[in-house]
Amino acid sequence: MRTIELNTGIQIPVIGSGTNTFGKENKAYQGAINGDTTELAAAIKAGYRHFDTAISYRNEAVVGKAIKESGLDRSEFFITSKIPGTSEYTKDAAAVKSAVESSVSALQTETIDLYLIHHPWDNLEEIAAVWAVLETYVDHGIIKAIGVSNFQEKELAYLLDNSRIKPAVNQVESHPGKWNDGIIGYSLAHHVVPEAWGPLSRISDNAKEQLAAIGAHHQKSWSQVVLRYQIERGVVVIPKSHAAEHQAVNLALFDFSLTEEEKDIIKGL
Ligand SMILES: NC(=O)c1ccc[n+]([C@@H]2O[C@H](COP(=O)([O-])OP(=O)(O)OC[C@H]3O[C@@H](n4cnc5c(N)ncnc54)[C@H](OP(=O)(O)O)[C@@H]3O)[C@@H](O)[C@H]2O)c1
């Protein structure tokens, strides 16, 4: 798997699997947790080693269970989780520590590869205070890299200026119709690796047709074209599928490349 080096020296696989509806009743985000590891097991079988979960998804324990059940060594996996940007988890250092420790425990792991602040809030000094607690976990080797999610330029700039360990990643929504090129460009310019959430969501039929037409030149699908586009511009992708066939398709991105003309068309979608 191709990787990008993060600022603490660890490697992030450029493609991971989203998980936000895995292990839940009716494959629904709000569904009750049922502990079902079917999709995670299929993803591991297909070759995924990078998983994106969060305290808010309530399924960290399902991800941890699937990794244990795989029989593979923990060191083969790259696990991302996230602390919610709400006062219950961020109000003081003890709340932040409790969140990190609950993630470590639920994931049945000793270390977490990447831990993100899930959403910013309007008090930038408070965000920096939460960040300072997360930095201590990097110091102790319990978290390997720390980053943010859904941060816009103002919030990311503040943290870049007010942190000892700079954010390694900014995970933001990005797909045709909502590329979020401004914050992705800002992140890249400041050596913060952008990650695209929802990379296959909310794409119009017209955009899918144009992506499929480009894919036809490479014997690839619309989903493969859009994921490849993101990777080629330095954006990590975390597509999610409940279908083993789609999971495999979404990993088969490394035997073709897009022309400059194709990339211009995709950029305009
Ligand atoms: N940081 C944040 O605030 C935030 C917010 C949202 C999401 N996320 C993360 O980002 C991950 C991905 O986003 P997402 O789950 O919203 O959606 P997504 O990956 O953009 O899209 C999922 C949808 O695409 C379909 N799909 C997947 N592969 C396909 C293929 N090859 N061909 C056709 N359809 C395909 C899936 O259907 P099938 O199941 O039928 O394949 C599903 O309906 C989440 O799981 C979560 O980990 C983060």
5 DSSP β-pair partners: 11
Locate the domains of the chain by residue range. Answer: 11-203+235-243
Q: C-alpha angle with apex 212: 210 to 216, nearest 5 degrees?
A: 120
**Ligand 1, atom nearest to 222 Cα:** 32
> Mind telling me the catalytic residues?
57
Position 184 scores a pLDDT of: 98
Using CB distances shorter than 6 Å, the residues near ligand 1 are 18-20, 52, 118, 149-150, 171, 197-201, 223, 238-243, 246, 249-250
Position 65 scores a pLDDT of: 98
Candidates 248, 231, 178; CA nearest to 207 is 178
Full-model pTM: 0.98
Token pair for 77: 């996996």
Burial environment of residue 3 by CB neighbours within 10 A (0 to 12, 13 to 18, 19 or more): middle
What 8-state DSSP symbol labels residue 39?
H
CB 183 within 8 A of CB 151: yes
- For domain 11-203+235-243, the question of CATH label 3.20.20.100 is answered with yes
The beta strand positions in the chain, using DSSP E, are 3-5, 11-13, 17-18, 50-52, 78-83, 112-117, 143-149, 169-173, 193-197, 236-237
| 77-83 average pLDDT score | 98
Could you give the C-alpha distances from 201 to 175, 176, 225, 248, in angstroms and in order?
Answer: 7, 9, 14, 18
Which of 117, 187, 200 is the best mutation target for the ligand 1 pocket, counting ligand atoms within 8 Å of the beta carbon and taking the most?
200
Position 137 scores a pLDDT of: 98
**Ligand 1, atom nearest to 247 Cα:** 28
Could you give the C-alpha distances from 231 to 2, 33, 99, 118, 239, in angstroms and in order?
Answer: 10, 32, 31, 22, 12
Closest residue by Cα to atom 41, ligand 1, is 241
d(CA 45, CA 248) in angstroms, rounded, equals: 9
Candidates 200, 205, 224; CA nearest to 214 is 224
**Ligand 1, atom nearest to 245 Cα:** 31
Tens of pLDDT, residues 95-127: 999 999 999 999 999 999 999 999 999 999 999
Phi, psi at residue 71, to the nearest 5°?
A: 80, -5
Token pair for 93: 């250092």
Position 138 scores a pLDDT of: 98
Cα 123 to middle of ligand 1, angstroms: 30
Burial environment of residue 269 by CB neighbours within 10 A (0 to 12, 13 to 18, 19 or more): middle
Burial environment of residue 250 by CB neighbours within 10 A (0 to 12, 13 to 18, 19 or more): buried
Position 176 scores a pLDDT of: 98
Position 122 scores a pLDDT of: 95
